[in-house]
Structure 1
Amino acid sequence: MTFVVPFDGSEMATAALARAVEYADALDEEVVAVSVVSERKRYAREKGWIGEEQAFDVDNVVSRLRDQVTELAPDATFEHERIREYPPAREIANEIASVAEQYDPTVMFLGSENVGRVVTPLTSIGANVASDLTYDVYVVRHTTPPRLDEIEAHPEFYQDTTT
């Protein structure tokens, strides 16, 4: 089994990666983090990868995402795709699915506050990735760990584990 985590460095993606690592540790499975980086400045600013006046260097963003993954999940594999255009959610989801397919995942861990709601925003990457029926989807909606005795929580991933 392989657990795949779309990773953009956000708080929810970080929580999803942490959750995937916790489950992977318990089940002795592999984790793959997948980042899709657009070469467009506007997208980088929206993701918080660069500031308003900061120059955009795609390689620098990829390096920082890789460093975040390595810090949180040293044994995880990091994959990334670069795309030229300003990406609609469906295209990012397709890129993630394409990379994930190489690993034949059994579970996709999605960090999202809105995946699976009755009304799904058209811009939801998670909703598009979750529509693939070849793997199960674990939706991480909270940044704090689950309360399962069998799963060893990694408190270093979480800012506040008292919630």
Structure 2
Amino acid sequence: MNAVHAQPHLRLNHRKANPEAFRTMLALEKFIGGSGLDKSLVELLKTRVSQLNGCAYCVAAHAADLRALGDYEEQLLLLAVWRDSPVFTKRERAALELAECLVDIGERGVPDPVYEGARQYFGEAEYVDLVMVVNTINAWNRISISTGMYPGVKLE
């Protein structure tokens, strides 16, 4: 039986309600964009974290951003089951594992094997950059979900 969901509706426009908070989030995005991390990896992480957090708006937005970077359709289709799919590199797997731990940090922290796995492929600064990607998309997810954003909503 399918659950019946209410029609999505925007509760408020966070950009207009608090422009300074919005500018702060954009500053985080600017930091991530200048981090040197591969843009496709960043979008892959943003999409996966958004899946885990249940943010439909962000899943749709970052899947579109990843598609705009090239042919990533197979990765998008298999992202929810990345552990069982051969289409992800070892570097991507290490980043995805770290991202999942960070989303669920209160339950399991970041176990040493996950940290060490990420550090095999990412230097110290890159590791912090990965953490910032996850922190930033977690914040966007919470903003989007709490304000009622949904795929296709237009904000000015």
TM-score scaled by structure 1?
0.31
Higher strand share: 1
Higher gyration radius (CA) = 2
Higher RCO (C-alpha 8 Å, min separation 6): 2
TM-score scaled by structure 2?
0.32
